[in-house]
Amino acid sequence: MNPDGGQSWDNLTADLVERVVSFLDPNEVVCTVKEINKAMASQFREKVAIRLSQPVPHHAFNRHWSRPEAVHNFTRSKRQELLLLTARSGSLANLQVAVKTAGCELSCEVFYAATQGGNLEMCQWLQEEDCFHVSEEVAAAAARSGHLETRFELEYGSVSRVRKPWMPDVVTGAAYGFDLAALQDLHQTFLSYGGGSGNYASRLLTRTTLAEALVSPTPDWRAKVEWLQAQGCRLHGEQYFDSGALVSRPDAVERAQWLLVEVEGEEEDVVMDIFTCAVHFGNLPLIRYLRVGRDWLLGRTKEAVVTAASAGNKALLVELVTLGWRLDGWTAQAAVEGGHLHILKWMGAGVVRKRIQELAQQHRTLLKYATSCGSVEVMEWLLNEIDLPWSGEKFFNLAVAAGSPAVLEWLVARGVPMGDDGELYVTAAHHHDLVMLRCLRRLDCPWGPGVFSRAVYDRGSTVEVLQWLHAEGCPVDWEEARSRAKTRKNQYVRDANAVAVHAWIESIAPS
């Protein structure tokens, strides 16, 4: 095909284009196919969502996320979530772009997500960046994702050298991520290490193993369930299973029906677990199925509407109200905390608006939540429509702590003074947040007294943050900085940051 003019696509019928595109990842359709020409954009106009946890074409990812303004309205937690989702997608090139833009530390959760994605090169790169965590949970997670070889290539060189105590959890993970043939092969391999005895076999296959097979994403999940049942595995009502995985499946209702038959007489807690996850996932068909004949659900799951509001899922919220759930002030607070203005506007009329005002009078925390979520639009709506009392000065630290440049700029634009004690810099340094530090500098926030020394010890900055402060002209009392760095190193002997900070200050401070 001609990638420049797209002429060969023009020669295909709409039906044939549909068939070709059906073999592509959804993100490829949104990011590449729709860009070919107007006809493609029109034919696939319903394809609009890009899921960062799935592979995104690098050209599209780089075009959007390499720009600093791409995360301008993101709080720190959202920037960290960007790293997790990108790691889970398995694209090292995209992760490297995201790391540069996010401006926050790599956590062990990023390595865990990368292991799930099964990209060995990404995992090795994260190891080089000191983002590495070895555990039984990581091994099981690799098996669940169908990438067991990736995990053991990192530490052992082969699956055959896995530690024996880990084997049951790894088999359980494989029941989720492997097809039946691969599961049986792994089970037989591990079984041979135990001499093939009945006792060892019973330890390898448990009720949890069966529960994982039930929620498995592989097409042969039914065959795995039947094979495990033939090996003696059974479920009980109190047995743990991954409700989140179950509700995410297209055939979730069928799986739930099978499960509820298996735990007949003990179904109430199981229904609660599935329903709660169905609300989080927004699985409306499953919610409707579980609601039928179960009026007791209304009383035990009042927080369902709060969950829907927190996610900004208006369709789910409307469905829950239709099925009998009632809105309250806590629903409004959840919408505020999530920054979902469209939910607040939908709730803003009549008696619901009155409940919002009552909640505000009782707690006066709605603006605090709006600040923490980083939504300028929500803050303005609350001030204009609900007429909440507020003090702008106290929200500066909240905005910096939340890592929200947009709210910070909005406060400055309203003429709210930033203060001259330097506390905003110290707070941003404490969170190792270069994005917020740059924003404060851009807004001409005063340094204030002792910022550098306070960042060295009081709030535990990193070398990178301190180097930035120094390069930007932050006043430094080197004697005080050396003293605090030494105290921090001696007090926290196992803190690698403390050791690195002390070494750097000693290397650069005037003698």
Mind listing the pLDDT tens digit for each residue in 256-282?
998 998 887 778 889 999 999 999 989
Does the pLDDT at position 30 exceed 70?
Answer: no
Residue 396 CA to residue 423 CA, distance in Å, equals 10
Tell me the torsion sign for CA atoms 332, 338, 340, 343.
negative
> Which two tokens mark 309?
């509001």
Q: Residue 104 — very low, low, confident or very high, per pLDDT cuts 50/70/90?
A: confident
Q: Which of 21-35, 323-337, 394-408 has the lowest mean pLDDT?
A: 21-35
Q: Is the pLDDT score of 453 beyond 70?
A: yes
Angle at 462 between CA 459 and CA 463, to 5 degrees: 135
Q: Give the Cα separation of 438 and 425 in Å (integer).
A: 10
Residue 151 is predicted with a pLDDT of 47
Q: Can you tell me the mean pLDDT for 190-204?
A: 61
Q: Report the phi/psi class of residue 90: left, alpha or beta, with left for phi > 0 and alpha for psi in -120 to 50.
A: left
**Rounded (10°) angle between helices 350-363 and 329-338:** 80
* Structure confidence at residue 469 as a pLDDT band (50, 70, 90): very high
pLDDT of residue 48: 41
| Alpha-carbon separation of residue 300 from 9, 272, 278, 280 (angstroms) | 54, 8, 15, 16
Nearest Cα to 231, choosing from 287, 294, 180? 180
Instruction: Say how far apart CA 247 and CA 259 lie, in whole Å.
Output: 12
Using CA atoms, how far apart are residues 225 and 215, in angstroms rounded to an integer? 10
Cα distance between residue 374 and residue 399, in whole Å: 7
- Count Cβ atoms below 10 Å from residue 3 Cβ, excluding itself: 9
Q: Domain map of the chain by residue range?
A: 450-510
**289-339 tens-digit pLDDT:** 999 999 999 999 999 999 999 999 999 999 999 999 998 888 888 898 888
Among candidates 59, 19, 70, which has minimal Cα distance to 35?
59
Token pair for 500: 């690195």
Contact 432, 465 (CB under 8 A): yes
Compute the chain's Rg from CA coordinates.
27
Q: What is the mean pLDDT of the chain?
A: 81
Give the type of residue at 456.
V
Instruction: State the pLDDT at residue 454.
Output: 94
Residue 484 scores a pLDDT above 60 = yes
Mean per-residue pLDDT, 200-207? 68
Q: How many CA atoms lie within 13 A of 324 on its CB side?
A: 13
Query: Residues 205-219: what's their mean pLDDT?
Result: 87
- Written as one letter, the residue type at 25 is D
pLDDT of residue 133: 58
d(CA 176, CA 363): 45
Q: pTM of the prediction?
A: 0.63
Q: Which residues contact 417 (CB under 8 A, 6 or more apart)?
A: 393
Per residue in 37-83, pLDDT (tens digit) is 555 555 445 444 566 667 788 888 888 888 888 888 888 888 888 99
More confident residue, 469 or 367: 469
In this structure, what token pair is assigned to residue 79?
């920037």
